[in-house]
Every structure is written in C-alpha cells, then in structure tokens.
Amino acid sequence: MSLLIMLSDALKGLYSLFLSVSSISGFPPRMSPAEERKYIELLAQGDVTARKKLIEHNLRLVAHVSQKYSASVPDPDDLISIGTIGLIKAVDTFRADKGSKFSSYAATCIQNEILMYLRSSKKSALDISVNEPIDVDRNGNVLTLMDIIAVDDTISDDIDTAMKCQKIRKIIKEGLDDTERRIIIQRYGLDGRKPLTQREIAAELHISRSYVSRIEKSILEKIRRVL
C-alpha cells in the first residue's frame, strides 16, 4: 500500500537520510543526556535547528521499531515513514516539565503511530522484542529498547487515552446529528456540563426516556467501532 501521508519539505532531507543507510549503525549517534537537555531547551524557544537535531539523532529508534513490524506489510518503507512521523510528533509535543524522559516518550509515540497504521490497515502487527539490542552507550554497553522505554511513568497510557479522546471528540463533532450530539453531551456532562439522567434529558427534549436510551446505545456503539 502506498503511503498517503507526505512529509513536509523541511523533513524530506531527514527521510532521504533514513532511506540511504543500510543499517542502524549508519545513523547519527544518540545524544548524551546533557546534549539532549540542551536541544530540548532550545526547541522550547523555537529553535528550528534543535528540532532537526533531535529528529536526526533519534532515527536509530525509528529504524529499530519499524524493522520489527516490517513483516506485517508489503512495503516496509511505509513503516519507516510512519515511524518517522511518530518521532516528529514526539519532538513537537514533548514537554520536559512533565517529568518523562524524551527517549521514553519518543519510543512510545513511534510505536503507537505504527500500531495505529497497522490497525487501520487491518494488518496483524508482530510482537516487538524489547530485549533485543538497539544501540550501545558511551561505555560500549549494549542497550535494549527496554532500557530506553522502561521508566516509572504512565506516558504510554496517557498517550493512548489522549488518542482515544481525540477520536471520540471527532465522532461527536462530525459523526452525530444535532439531537444525538446534544444527548451524549448532556448524558455524560461533556464540555464542563453537569451529567443528566436519561429521564431528565427526555423531559428537556420532550421525547420518551426509551428513545433517549436507544440513541445513547447507538452512539456508544459508533464509538466502540472506532476505538
């Protein structure tokens, strides 16, 4: 399947670099913690060069995660593109004040982007081994994906929840008619409203409670189908 999502002109150079190397070892080395902090601080100030550096020096992570899912698709280059997009999203959305390591956040974003693509394509993703070597540290010690993403935070769950919430908001905004939208917003107290019972909603809209119940179930089924 051809990839429909195109990278921006500013990132095509990075994509070319990704495709031109033959192994993970051909990518720029990972930054030291001090270097990473420096470029993250510069990025927060709007430094475009810092953004590019953070992407370039984390391409090894994209390569590793993408390779583990390559047997799931006809064209592995699609996964490279998707993984790179996940990395770009990580760079653009990372917030140092949240207390998470950038490498942990980036690894999760890359993997989630690939898994979303595989699910949307109705393909079965292969299990990724978190214990296989991915890099070496400055002392020559082997690093695995587990070493990078194993942190005491809930970033993976947070990202998954945020993505699901975004899908639900889109369904409510674009996939429901006015009555359905009003019922689901009032029923679950969305947009800062107080949740109402089915009976209260029925009285307000001058319809039967059973009709409100049927509409609510129909909406929830729509949501379940896309999550």
CATH number at residue 97: 1.10.1740.10
Domain stop point among 138, 153, 168: 153
Residue 180's pLDDT is 93
Are 147 and 193 contained in the same domain? no
Are 62 and 119 contained in the same domain? yes
What is the tally of structural domains in the chain?
2
| Per-residue DSSP letter, 22 | S
pLDDT tens-digit map of 191-203: 778 889 999 999 9
**Whether residue 77 has pLDDT greater than 90:** no
Are 13 and 66 contained in the same domain? yes
In a domain, 37, yes or no: yes
Are 19 and 128 contained in the same domain? yes
Domain stop point among 153, 182, 212: 153
Amino acid sitting at position 106: A
Structure-model confidence comparison of residues 8 and 186, the more confident one? 186
In a domain, 215, yes or no: yes
- Name 163's Cβ contacts closer than 8 Å, sequence gap at least 6: 112, 116
How far apart CA 7 and CA 175 sit, in angstroms, is 28
For 220, the 3-state DSSP assignment is helix
How far apart CA 57 and CA 46 sit, in angstroms, is 18
Domain stop point among 120, 153, 186: 153
> Rg of the Cα trace of the chain?
22
Residue 149's pLDDT is 55
In a domain, 2, yes or no: no
Which CATH number does the domain housing residue 165 bear?
Answer: 1.10.10.10
Record the tokens describing residue 114, joined without a space.
């690939």
- What mean pLDDT is predicted for residues 42-69? 87
How far apart CA 3 and CA 17 sit, in angstroms, is 18
Residue 16's pLDDT is 45
pLDDT tens-digit map of 163-217: 677 778 888 888 899 999 999 999 888 877 888 999 999 999 999 999 999 999 9
